[in-house]
């Protein structure tokens, strides 16, 4: 009886492993894989907490021919300096006085997961970091 349970359990685990993404490239798809040399991370960033996927889920999006589907618009910081997107991601204005740059916010000094929210109040922490990485959705711009 125990042997049958063990075999059944092994089959369940094997099916789960077979249906799971085989690697990060497949999991991240068009977002790309975040590749960071742990030795180059700022002090205080745990390499195990660096996000898996490079670019932000909200874009910028690209069409079939590689063209940008939309441009990143500037934001007037006088209206609001932080907020929650319709899809539930925090953003913040950047410290660029002469320009209305903004960025997507990420944990772990900008190298971690994208900060999620359900309202603007969830994005009110003044220490929220702009995302870092070599991606279109990272850093300050518009």
Please compute the mean of the pLDDT values over residues 55-74 and round it to a whole number. Answer: 58
Question: What pLDDT is attached to residue 86?
Answer: 85
* 8 A C-beta contact, residue 114 and residue 88: no
Per-residue pLDDT, 69: 39
Per-residue model confidence (pLDDT) at position 93: 85
Residue 43 lies in a domain: yes
User: Residue 33 has what pLDDT?
Assistant: 92
For the chain, the average pLDDT equals: 76
pLDDT digits (tens, 9 = 90+) for 1-53: 444 443 333 433 344 444 444 688 999 998 889 999 999 999 999 999 999 99
Q: How many residues does the chain have?
A: 142
Higher pLDDT, 66 or 12: 66
Q: How confident is the model at residue 73, as a pLDDT?
A: 67
10 assigned to some structural domain: no
Handedness of CA 114, 111, 74, 97 (dihedral sign): positive
Predicted confidence (pLDDT) per residue in 86-130, tens digit: 889 998 888 776 677 888 999 999 999 999 999 999 999 988 999
Q: Is residue 19 part of a domain?
A: no
- Give the full edge-to-edge strand order of the sheet including 102-106: 82-84, 90-93, 102-106, 129-130
Q: Does some domain include residue 92?
A: yes
Identify the pLDDT of residue 117: 95
Does 86 fall in a domain?
yes
Neighbouring residues of 66: CB distance < 8 A, sequence distance ≥ 6? none
Neighbouring C-alpha atoms within 13 Å toward the C-beta of 49: 15
User: Which contiguous run of DSSP H or E holds residue 130?
Assistant: strand 129-130
- Asked, for residue 13, whether it belongs to a domain, the answer is no
Residue 11 lies in a domain: no
Residue numbers of the domain that contains 98: 31-130
User: Is 140 contained in some domain?
Assistant: no
Res 39: pLDDT: 92
Q: How many domains does the chain have?
A: 1
């Amino acid at each position: 009886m125990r042997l049958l349970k063990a075999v059944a359990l092994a089959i369940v685990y094997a099916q789960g492993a077979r249906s799971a993404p085989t690697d990060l490239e497949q999991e991240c798809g068009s977002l790309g894989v975040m590749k960071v040399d742990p030795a180059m991370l700022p002090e205080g960033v745990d390499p195990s907490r660096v996000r898996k996927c490079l670019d932000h889920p909200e874009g910028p999006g690209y069409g079939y021919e590689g063209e940008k589907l939309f441009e990143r618009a500037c934001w007037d910081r006088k209206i609001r300096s932080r907020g929650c997107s319709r899809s539930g991601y925090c953003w913040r204005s950047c410290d660029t006085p002469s320009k209305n740059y903004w960025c997507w916010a990420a944990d772990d000094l900008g190298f971690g997961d994208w900060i999620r929210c359900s309202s603007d109040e969830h994005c009110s922490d003044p220490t929220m970091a702009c995302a870092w990485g070599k991606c279109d959705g990272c850093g300050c711009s518009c």
